[in-house]
Structure 1
Amino acid sequence: MNAKIKELQNEAATFTAKARTIAEKAQAEARPFTAAEQADYDDAVGKAKSYLGQIKTLKADEAVLDQAKGLAARIGTPLGSDGHGGGVPRAKGRVGLAGKAGKELASRIADGMVDGQKALLPSGTAHAGVPLLPEVVELGHPSNTLLDALVALPAPGPTFKALVQRQRTNNAAPVAEGATKPTSVFGLEEIEVNLEVLAHLSEPTPRYWFEDNDALQVFVQDELVRGLRDALEGQVLEGDGTRPNLQGILTTSGVQVQAFTTDVARSVRAAITKLETAGHEDNHLVILSPADWEKAETARAEGSGQLEAVANVTERAQRTLWGVPVVVSNALPNGTGLVIDREAVVVYSDNVVDVRWSETVADDFEKNHVRARVESRYAAVVSKPLGVVRVATAATP
């Protein structure tokens, strides 16, 4: 099976490279995709995702089989080639190791299975995937979120030191022989950073719902992780820095400010100039609320009547302004945008999202209810405030 996974990985890499080449060509020429490019791009992305999905399924099969073999060894049940106990029947309504939903559940609750059957949902702990990527993702498609676009690093500990550059003054100059050399100012400041807990619970759910619905446990966990991610994005943008809140981008001292000009697009362009003037010449990212992005996308060029940001309204525009990728965030208030150097903001985490199931909250045990808790720890650091420009996207009333 390893050889098959390797083959699929090569195919996925091929089509990913094809999509990236198309996106980079359009970006380099500061234009949206042509109809042919959009079709080729969508086809390449679709095929890459298909191969990745097959890889995920194969890896899940391997993991489930390994878990089942280990469990069988502990209870003395021989395994057939299909990964189930030989000739052991499965009770109606219980989840075995067959089927996609069963595989997903089994990989998370294998310790609660007996003879290939899922017992009633036990209290226990699992780990979901960390909702942060270890490196910046190249933005060639509108589906990227803010958290995907920022630098994400594992925290060295629950409390650590970070350096923030709040000033840069370059005094390099010609110097006569024997004269004192000028001193440049880098404006570094050491700050203490604390990982803060972000968490929430699911509502109490009848225990037998999990027994009767194979996919419910996965659904609840995924919803909780998605909610945790949304809360993290809000904190990264607007956290006020008062513990347990994170220090958000908008509340960090020393960031640049751009007043509203005539429209969203021109205000963003002025902010780009401020970044470039401060020495942040590339790797920019524009962050707008959905309403402000709509204003930018539907603005019309003066005199021509043509939309400025969209070549053809029947196609979904590539999200760029002035050749800079745009991320749309529901956590950003209308009337406020950001233009940032993507490496000026770092999100730290403890590299694990803890998922814990319990029947001991309030009177859940008496009512035969189960609920889940999802939590993780994060911190955000704007290491280069001059690499961030807060943009007013509307005139002050």
Structure 2
Amino acid sequence: MADLRAKALEHTATARQIAEKAQAEGRNFTASEKAAYDDAMTTAKRHADALRTMRDDDDVTAQAKALAAQIADPTGSTTSGGLQGRIGLSGKSGRELGRTLAKTMVPEGKKELAPTGTVVTAASLLPEIQELGHPSNRLLEILPTFISATPTFEALVQRVRENNAAPVAEGELKPTSVLGLEKIEARLEVIAHLSEPVPHYWLADNRSLEAFVNNELIRGLYDAAEAQVLTGDGTRPNLHGILTTSGLQVQAFTDNVARSVRAAITKLETAGHEDNHVIVLRPEDWEAAETARADGSGVLEAVANVTERATRSLWGVPVVVSTALPVGTGLVMDREEVSVHWDGQVAVRWSEVGDDFERNHTRARVESRFECVVADPTGVARVATAATP
């Protein structure tokens, strides 16, 4: 119990720190902060529910023991005589005794699910759900995020740039440079999904299950949003993804992943994007970059030693690992040139659909609205992480 309480307090403290930081700065949550806040609160609730379940189980056990003692000897004496004789002394029929036991086995505040007179034994689901692992998609945590007050909005993007600045003789016309600004109309698109039908009794018997389902669906929502930010083709209801934006710089594969990425950084710097870089790679490409060794010496080329793995940086630039990227593709970009817009909320609702009521099922729906804007395509380089066959 102490361990569950400590975990609940730890995640609650994390959520409070995020909220207090945003409040102190007089702003709303960013997308990454909202995701971290939701995750911390959901996890804290799950641990708290598990703690309450254990306490309720202890209360039920204590009540059952007390009732068993009362059944064995309602007068408080230690005289033997067996259960049958004691029932006669208490004046309770078998049905009345069963009803008393059934009521005792149901924790206070929970609906008595068993028919009157039925004895319910404790065979509850484990409070801690044994969940699968999650890919570490975290691009949304580092991109600038803006909350849109309306589902449609306008944005200025720069598609081309032509610098014609030059010396000018007195009285001559000055050259005109092309800034390439274009006003676009963007629209938030809905990303959503439902849970499978969940039996009502599962939710009644395990207080952690609702939080678990919510958490899984929210994670899935952000994974889908990240995939759309990277690869959406712009055809409604898809987002305008980074990789499908026209005008991106392209870096062909060189000797290995690490050197291909380095060449892409040079292209960004040449175009005037000298800092705020971020690298996005698939897990297998990050492994290849991290373990690449220089010819001849065999020394690790991209990192000083293997113990620096946790920093996830390449050529001094932070690396984000995402399974949403197409195979053989990486990205190097100026993070200030790519922004994510959303409606500022993740809606979670439980309801019955179709014949769920007749089947005693319910399910959850999670949704939000997003869009991606690439302000300057020259600030993004698409990198080939493998030689073309």
Report the TM-score, using the length of structure 1 for normalisation. Answer: 0.66
Question: Amino acid of the residue matched to residue 350 of structure 2?
Answer: W
SS in 1 for 2:220: helix
- Whether 1:185 aligns to 2:143 is no
Q: 1:354-381: CA deviations, max 9, x gaps?
A: 111002x121000100100000111011
Aligned residue for 1:167?
Answer: 160
Aligned residue for 1:336?
Answer: 329
2:384 to 358, 374, 392: 392
Alignment check: 8 A CA contact 2:347 2:366 kept? yes
Shift in Å, 1:309: 2.8
Question: Amino acid of the residue matched to residue 48 of structure 2?
Answer: K
Alignment check: 8 A CA contact 1:347 1:380 kept? yes
Q: 1:198-246: CA deviations, max 9, x gaps?
A: 0000000111211111111110000000000110111001111100000
Aligned residue for 1:129?
Answer: none
2:49 to 92, 95, 101: 101
Report the TM-score, using the length of structure 2 for normalisation. Answer: 0.67
Superposed counterparts of 1:17-32, under 5 Å: none
- Whether 1:55 aligns to 2:13 is yes
In structure 1, how many angstroms separate the alpha carbons of the residues matched to 2:305 and 2:272?
35
Superposed counterparts of 1:7-18, under 5 Å: none
Determine which structure has more spread, i.e. the larger CA radius of gyration: 2
Identity of aligned residues (%): 67
Alignment check: 8 A CA contact 2:8 2:48 kept? no
Aligned residue for 1:289?
Answer: 282
Aligned residue for 1:212?
Answer: 205
Following TM superposition, where does structure 1 have runs of at least 4 consecutive aligned residues deviating by more than 6 angstroms? 49-52, 102-105
Superposed counterparts of 1:43-82, under 5 Å: 53=11, 55-56=13-14
- Whether 1:254 aligns to 2:247 is yes
In structure 2, how many angstroms separate the alpha carbons of the residues matched to 1:98 and 1:309?
41
Alignment check: 8 A CA contact 1:355 1:373 kept? yes
Aligned residue for 1:365?
Answer: 357
In structure 2, how many angstroms separate the alpha carbons of the residues matched to 1:119 and 1:201?
26
In structure 2, the CA distance between the partners of 1:367 and 1:161, relative to structure 1 (3 Å rule), is same
RMSD between aligned alpha carbons?
2.9
Alignment check: 8 A CA contact 2:137 2:226 kept? no
Shift in Å, 1:276: 0.6
SS in 2 for 1:223: helix
Task: Choose between structure 1 and 2: higher helix proportion.
Answer: 2
Aligned residue for 1:267?
Answer: 260
SS in 2 for 1:337: strand
In structure 2, how many angstroms separate the alpha carbons of the residues matched to 1:220 and 1:147?
22
Alignment check: 8 A CA contact 1:311 1:317 kept? no
In structure 2, the CA distance between the partners of 1:175 and 1:156, relative to structure 1 (3 Å rule), is farther
Shift in Å, 1:163: 1.3
Aligned residue for 2:227?
Answer: 234
Shift in Å, 1:186: 0.6
Shift in Å, 1:164: 1.2
Shift in Å, 1:173: 2.4
Stretches of structure 1 that go unaligned for 5 or more consecutive residues are 1-48, 60-96, 106-115, 121-142
In structure 2, how many angstroms separate the alpha carbons of the residues matched to 1:57 and 1:396?
46
Alignment check: 8 A CA contact 1:248 1:380 kept? yes
In structure 2, the CA distance between the partners of 1:374 and 1:98, relative to structure 1 (3 Å rule), is closer
Shift in Å, 1:263: 0.8
In structure 2, the CA distance between the partners of 1:200 and 1:309, relative to structure 1 (3 Å rule), is same
Alignment check: 8 A CA contact 1:309 1:317 kept? no
In structure 2, how many angstroms separate the alpha carbons of the residues matched to 1:385 and 1:228?
26
Alignment check: 8 A CA contact 1:291 1:334 kept? no
Alignment check: 8 A CA contact 2:261 2:332 kept? yes
In structure 2, the CA distance between the partners of 1:225 and 1:317, relative to structure 1 (3 Å rule), is closer
In structure 2, how many angstroms separate the alpha carbons of the residues matched to 1:264 and 1:353?
37
Question: Amino acid of the residue matched to residue 162 of structure 2?
Answer: T
Q: 1:45-81: CA deviations, max 9, x gaps?
A: xxxx99974535889xxxxxxxxxxxxxxxxxxxxxx
In structure 2, how many angstroms separate the alpha carbons of the residues matched to 1:232 and 1:298?
30
Question: Amino acid of the residue matched to residue 101 of structure 1?
Answer: D
In structure 2, how many angstroms separate the alpha carbons of the residues matched to 1:250 and 1:272?
17
In structure 2, how many angstroms separate the alpha carbons of the residues matched to 1:314 and 1:345?
31
Aligned residue for 1:20?
Answer: none
In structure 1, how many angstroms separate the alpha carbons of the residues matched to 2:336 and 2:16?
35
Superposed counterparts of 1:112-127, under 5 Å: 117=109
Alignment check: 8 A CA contact 1:104 1:218 kept? no
Shift in Å, 1:104: 11
SS in 2 for 1:230: helix
In structure 2, the CA distance between the partners of 1:179 and 1:243, relative to structure 1 (3 Å rule), is same
Stretches of structure 2 that go unaligned for 5 or more consecutive residues are 1-6, 18-44, 54-107, 113-135
SS in 2 for 1:249: coil
